[in-house]
A and B are shown apart, each in its own frame.
Chain A
């Protein structure tokens, strides 16, 4: 079983739509959780950290459910510029000091007119 699993998509949504991405992780002792965004042929960039209490940044809301080992990302009022691959990322026990990131395969989002 993969350490981090995501639906690869693609998700094709019209501009203005709300879209949700889900991610599951296999190691219950995983420590830190993130969503990264990667544009085509570019490097990944941190979108937001994810906390159990949930956190919001403008149109983006992230949620962590430790009991279910589940992470979500909600994008409201989608823009054309949101088209990208969204990578679910965790750090595993013992990797914190090594700053090792464990990535999912990514979910591709295409926002259309």
Chain B
């Protein structure tokens, strides 16, 4: 079975530009979460979507937005890119919402470099 897939693998942008990152969850998984991992740090939660609705948001500016499609794939958009947005962007999928933890499976990530 295919795991979580993300595209593109690498991306180079300049300050002020906009970027769209894509994620396809594991088949049957309805929840997608996005994380940002800056070099030398652990991943930081950005968003979670479940059944096309935002279910959680981390401490990120409004320049960051996301959506989930009927097939449960997701896009993360970042506007007005800053140098500090350079990071590995990870997508994770899980079966759904639960009071107790659903294991999240991470994709390989998109490495974004902002020049």
Q: Which A residues form the contact surface with B (CB < 8 A)?
A: 4, 8, 31-32, 34, 42-46, 49, 87, 89, 91, 95-106
Contacts and interface: CB of A to CB of B under 8 A. Distances in A.
Contacts, number: 68
Given A32-B100, A42-B108, A96-B101, A101 B43 contact: yes
11 contacts: A42-B108, A43-B108, A49-B101, A89-B42, A98-B48, A99-B101, A100-B58, A101-B33, A101-B92, A103-B44, A105-B42
Interface residues of B, number: 28
B101 A102 contact: no
B42 A106 contact: yes
Contact of A91 (B42, B97, B101, B109): B101
B73 to A, nearest CB: 17
A103 B42 contact: yes
Interface of B: 31, 33, 35, 40-45, 48, 55-56, 58, 90, 92, 94, 97-104, 106-109
